[in-house]
A and B are shown apart, each in its own frame.
Chain A
Amino acid sequence: MTSHRTGALALLALALILALTRNALPAGLMRPPEWLVWPFADWLNAAFAFCQNDLGLMAVTRFAAAGIAALLDVTGNLFYGKARWPNLGPLPWTTFAITAGALAYRVAGWRLALFAAGTFVWIALMGQWEWAMQTLSVILIAAPVTFVTGLGLGIVAWRFALFERVLNPFLNIAQSLPQFAYMIPVVVFVGVGPKAGAITTIVFALPPMIRMTVLGLKKVPENVVESGLMSGANRWQMLTRVRLPTARNDVLVGVNQVIMQCLAMVVLTSFIGMPGLGQKLLQLMQSLKIGLSFEIGVTIVLIAVTLDRISRAWAEMAPKHFAKGTPWHQRHRVLVIWAILMGVAFALAHLSPWFSQIERSDAFSVAKPIDAAVDILIRLIDPVSQALRWFLITWVLIPFRDGLLWLPFTTVLALVMALGYAAGGARSALVCLGFFGMIAMTGWWDRAMITVYTVIVSVVLAALMGFPLGIWGARAQGRAARVLLVCDTLQTFPSFIYLIPVIMLFGVNDVAVVGAVILFAAVPLVRYTIEGLRGVAPELIEAASMSGADRSQLLWKVQLPMALPTILVGVNQSVMFSLFMVIIAAFIGTQDLGQEMQRALSTTDVGKGLVLGLAVAFMGLMVDHLVTTWSAARTQALGLEPPKRAA
């Protein structure tokens, strides 16, 4: 530990010297010199062109896309009456409400059933049916395709350790790559529109499914495996009848993550011409129609919560037996009721078109009153928000940004190395240098620094809000449960949603971006702070109390240090979330990597888009490396349960 400290201090001193002698430094130490900036984008473009034209990969992707498109046509027809085979749709809105309610009832009971059915009633009544169905019809295809592909890859990765070792770094990068980076290659290979949206979504949602499958299969208890073997199961039987069913819960948690990722991504693919709720929201926000954006926001949130709760309840469902001699219709009570209600729904739809489709002209809207209320609210708090904005911009954001840009890039490199050295010695220092060195080599240094500045400011502000809130929340058992529930729910919202309130309050500018990022990044901080603090062993707290520690001593000397590893997981997630959010928020105007990424998207410049995406991913991976290394060291020093390794 002490040797780490001297090394880190030496690197810090180097950074200081470089910064202080800034004016005397040669230009090559100020900004990445030309020989250091490599034309990665051109190389990537050449590679893509090669795949596309010479390898004929284009034909393959077009073929796959055609398959997806055919599936999308079916759901499109059923959900919103697209003129395609089987030409049955659109199904009445009531059937969706009934089906959602029945599913929810089957897995979780009455309350969720009401919520799920209510969600669809709301969508219908608010006249958003077609948009919502466009979104859902893509999810209904993307999620199962992702599930099957992810399960297959997961099984292969579990079976062949070598494949897993090759796959792992790709998964790591993929999970820290901002969403836009996925879209550009898809646009090149598939074009724009629903099928591009679906394919982007599938690719994006794949990593967690693979991860959960591998994890679940590895977790199958040894005794279950042995009993399977002793029963004479062969390899295939072991996999399909012993291992996979036993890993059911983990696999289903993967399904839950897939569905949530799909929803988040489908909303975002509005940027590549995917119609639906996301596109509507994007248009409305760009034209500052607050009330209407709000309505759509509510819809997206309701859908998110419904999908999340149903799939999670399904994952947690444990098998239960029926009493002997229970007749068929009682064993399948929900199915029977569902069938009857569906019959009623179709009959009603036959009688009155209102029970089939609700036209926008007949729909309700709360947009006007919301607009009015927001107007009043804004007028009321305008002095405050203006002052806050002014303060943030002139005293925090601009000085910090200029300061960061003023630093020679060598100083920044020395700084991250110092951090790395402090966390994990020379190896970590080199890892950090590697990640940030790559960023320097992309040639986007200044833009990257702006991203870094936005993330740092946001995470620090989020921490100033999140930690106290978390500590307060952890004080009492009941309160902790409530706050955790709120955090849980907030985390199911697609990132896009967070932009609505901040645009409402601050308009379209830097402060709004920072605001959205803060909101988004504060949630994991609160959540993991509470989980960490509540997880401290009660014996420890009792022992400390008996030694005469008062409440603040208890907190600072016992609880926080013990909870630190868990809290660090929150910090890690918080940084990751901020990075994603900063990039998404770029469309409301920033000058960072996100803006360039938007440009790359509009000019379908694959190479540039990927390079920018990787630059963002490297920031995330570096923080991840720092936090995991440090938290592992802390965990070991505290003698806690050793951190779980994926291997």
Chain B
Amino acid sequence: MWSLAVPNAQPVISCRNVWKLYGPKPQAYFAALTAGTSFEQMRGDGYISAVRDVSLDIAKGEMLVVMGLSGSGKSTLVRCLSRLIDSTAGTILIDGDDIAKMDARALIDLRRRKMGMVFQSFGLLPHRSVLDNVAFPLEMRGQDRHDRRARALEVIELVGLKGREDYFPRELSGGQQQRVGIARSLAIEPDIWFLDEPFSALDPLIRREMQDEFLRLKQILGKTSVFITHDFDEALRLADRIAIMKDGAIEQCDTPDQIVLNPATPYVAKFTEEIEKSRVIRAGTLAQAGTAEGQALSASATLHTLARQIAQDSRDLIPVAGPDGRVMGTLNRAAALDILFGAAQ
């Protein structure tokens, strides 16, 4: 489940040195920009670098979670990737095609066939019922009435809004509206799925359900997704990789374990400080070469779930087995206990 993307395959989304500047004359300002101009200096000049020199590759089926404080540029980055806004500089390739070079028709085609997006602020059409909102992308594609109704009902059921097809957005709660947005983005079965804080308006129970549903979908459908959230637990549950943004730049983009174990910058360290490491780190991450006898721990389980087992085990080195059941190394029990209960003083 936490397997990394297959290397060497062509990434679905690939961006190189993407910038997005807000200000009076972003292009001219960017052309005159010298390397190393800081965020504050730019702000002094009247420009906000909402996205700053971002380079990323996202492989097929991968789930990238983007995190960062409010205003760090998460939504702007996703808008650049979907070309809802034009980036100031850099190239963005989707399946190898440069989206900045696409004409209106190609872009519309791309969105009709491949992309889905859930918006932070829902963006539902107020004059359409739930059903018609969800069917809207299909309608744009010119699908016939009957088919789009059937498909829309399917996804409405999927997000748990069955029975409310005829409601209008203003008759729904925030969480329900959010789910309509999710259903709409799923209607066309997109290959690439952008989700801007899709679960932020949901209550914890439904949120969890949606996350499970989401993981299930991801496994069956193999969608490539970019997911924005403020919630670290959510990120840990869902992410293949996590990108942490600050002032428009990506501070670190890595697997959850690496982000927690080896923060690249002091900012990331501070960002992850509050997190209980045992919930993130898996036995496999800590495993070192070697062998030991007896019952093995599962490499993909977090230390947190293994806590009782580790605490009750008397061996210094506990074997760790990979998904195929073969022992892949040993876990140093003392080190694991240190992570679980804090280092001995």
A residues engaging B (CB < 8 A)?
221, 223-224, 226-235, 237, 241-242, 245-246, 248, 318-322, 324
Whether, in the assembled complex, B323 has its beta carbon less than 8 Å from a beta carbon of chain A, the answer is: no
Chain A facing B: main interface SS = helix
B123 contact set on A, CB distance < 8 A: 221, 223-224, 226-227
Q: Which of B120-142 contact A (CB under 8 A)?
A: 120-129, 136-137, 139-141
Q: Of all chain A residues, which has the CB nearest B127?
A: A245
* A232:B119 contact, CB within 8 angstroms: no
Q: Report B99-150 residues with CB < 8 Å from chain A CB.
A: 104-105, 108-109, 111-112, 115-117, 119-129, 136-137, 139-141
Nearest to A326 among chain B residues (CB) is B166
Q: How far is the CA of A478 from the CA of B128 in the complex (A)?
A: 36
CA distance in complex: A242, B115 (Å):
19
B167 within 8 A of A: yes
Residue among B121, B140, B168, B188 making CB contact with A320, cutoff 8 Å: B168
Instruction: For the complex, give the distance between the alpha carbons of A227 and B120 in Å.
Output: 11
Whole-angstrom distance between the Cβ of A117 and the nearest chain B Cβ: 29
Q: Is B220 engaged at the interface, CB distance under 8 Å to the other chain?
A: no
Question: Which A residue's beta carbon lies closest to that of B185?
Answer: A230
Q: Could you list 7 further interchain pairs (A-B, Cβ under 8 angstroms) beyond the known A227-B119, A234-B108?
A: A221-B123, A232-B109, A234-B140, A235-B104, A319-B126, A319-B170, A324-B166
A223→B115 CA distance, assembly (Å): 17
Interface residue? B82 (CB, 8 A): yes
Contact B125 A224 (CB under 8 A): yes
A-B contact pairs, 13 of them (CB 8 A): A223-B119, A223-B120, A223-B121, A224-B125, A226-B84, A227-B125, A230-B116, A230-B137, A231-B112, A231-B136, A232-B137, A237-B140, A321-B166
Q: What residues on A are CB-neighbors of B122 within 8 Å? A: 223, 227
Question: Pick the contact of B124 from A227, A232, A241, A322 — CB < 8 Å?
Answer: A227
Q: Nearest 8 pairs between A and B by C-beta?
A: A227-B123, A232-B112, A223-B123, A231-B137, A321-B166, A232-B111, A245-B127, A230-B117
Contact A232 to B108, CB < 8 A, known contacts A318-B170, A320-B168, A321-B171: yes
- List residues of chain A with CB within 8 A of the CB of B116: 230
**Closest CB in chain A relative to B156 CB, distance in Å:** 13
Interface residue? B52 (CB, 8 A): no
Q: Complex: how many Å from CA A342 to CA B244?
A: 69
- Complex Cα–Cα for A384 and B117 (A): 74
Q: Which of B108, B119, B170 contacts A226 (CB 8 A)?
A: B119
Give A318 to B108 CA distance when docked, in angstroms. Answer: 31
> Which residue on chain B has the smallest CB distance to residue A230?
B117
- Residue contact B171 to A230, C-beta cutoff 8 Å: no
* Interface contact A232-B141, CB-CB below 8 Å: yes
Question: Chain A residue with minimal CB distance to B164?
Answer: A321
- Does B304 reach chain A (CB closer than 8 Å)? no
Contact B140 A246 (CB under 8 A): no
Tell whether B44 is near chain A: CB-to-CB under 8 Å. Answer: no
Whole-angstrom CA separation of A246 from B168 in the bound complex: 13
- Chain A nearest CB, measured from B167 CB (Å): 5
Known: A245-B125, A246-B127, A324-B163. A230 touches B170 (CB 8 A): no
Question: Is B184 close to A, CB under 8 A?
Answer: yes
Within 8 A of A (CB), among B176-201: 181, 184-185, 188
A535 to chain B, nearest CB (A): 25
B127 touches A229 (CB 8 A): no
For residue A225, which residue of chain B has the nearest CB? B123
Complex alpha-carbon distance, A319 and B139, angstroms? 20
What residues of B have a CB within 8 angstroms of the CB of A319 in the complex?
126-127, 129, 168, 170
Q: How far is the CB of A102 from chain B (nearest CB, A)?
A: 23
A231/B121 contact (C-beta < 8 A), A226-B84, A237-B140, A321-B167 known:
no
* Nearest-neighbor residue (CB-CB) of B82 within chain A: A230
A246, B121: Cβ atoms closer than 8 Å: no
A241: chain B residues within 8 A (beta carbon): 125, 136, 139
What are the residues of chain A within 8 A of B129 when measuring CB–CB? 319, 321
Most B-side CB within 10 Å, residue of A223, A224, A232: A232
Partner of A242, one of B125, B166, B170: B125
B84 and A320 form a contact (CB under 8 A): no
Residues in chain B near residue A226, CB distance under 8 A: 79, 84, 117, 119, 123
Q: Which residues on the A side are within 8 Å of B112 (C-beta)?
A: 231-232
Residues 66-95 of B, flagged 1 when their CB comes within 8 A of A and 0 if not, give: 000000000000010010100000000000
Among residues of B, the one whose C-beta sits closest to the C-beta of A238 is B140
Chain A residue nearest in CB terms to B166 = A321
Which residues of B lie under 8 Å from residue A248 when comparing CB positions? 127
Which residues on the B side are within 8 Å of A221 (C-beta)? 121, 123
The smallest C-beta distance from A320 to any residue of chain B, in angstroms, reads 7
Residues of B within 8 A of A235 (CB): 104
B140 and A231: CB pair below 8 A? Answer: yes
* A residues less than 8 Å from B119 (CB atoms): 223, 226-227
Asked if residues B184 and A231 are in contact (CB atoms below 8 Å), the reply is: yes
Cβ–Cβ < 8 Å partners of A224 in chain B? 123-126
Complex CA distance for A248 and B125, rounded to whole angstroms: 11
B84 touches A229 (CB 8 A): yes
Which residues in B have their C-beta under 8 angstroms from that of A245? 125, 127-128
Q: Is the CB of A233 within 8 A of B163?
A: no
Bound: A399/B175 CA distance, A: 70
- Looking at the assembled complex, report how far the CB atom of B77 sits from the nearest CB atom of chain A, in whole angstroms: 15
Residues of B within 8 A of A233 (CB): 108, 140
Minimum Cβ distance to chain A for residue B98 (Å): 19
User: Of B111, B126, B141, which contacts A246 at CB under 8 A?
Assistant: B126
In the bound complex, how far is the Cα of B108 from the Cα of A581, in angstroms?
54
Across-interface contacts of B82 in A (CB, < 8 A): 230
Max chain B C-beta neighbours (<10 A), residue from A224, A319, A324: A319
In the complex, what residues of B have CB within 8 A of residue A246's CB? 125-127
Residues of B within 8 A of A234 (CB): 104-105, 108, 140
What's the nearest-Cβ distance from chain B to residue A608, in Å?
49
**C-beta contact mask, B150-178 vs A, less than 8 Å → 1, else 0?**
00000000000001001110110000000
- Return A465 CB to nearest CB of chain B, in Å: 42
- Give the docked Cα–Cα distance between A182 and B167 (Å): 47
Residues on A with C-beta less than 8 A from B84 are 226, 229-230
Q: A231 contacts B111, CB within 8 Å?
A: yes
Chain A hits for B104, CB < 8 A: 234-235
B residues near A232, Cβ cutoff 8 Å: 108-109, 111-112, 137, 140-141, 188
Q: In the assembly, what is the distance between CA of A283 and CA of B185, in Å? A: 65
Contact assessment for A322 and B111 in the assembled complex, using a CB-CB cutoff below 8 Å: no
Complexed CA–CA distance, A320 and B167 (Å): 7
Q: How far is the CA of A237 from the CA of B123 in the complex (A)?
A: 16
Q: How far is the CB of A315 from chain B (nearest CB, A)?
A: 13
A321 near B168: Cβ-Cβ < 8 Å:
yes
- A476-B288 Cα distance, complex, nearest whole Å: 78
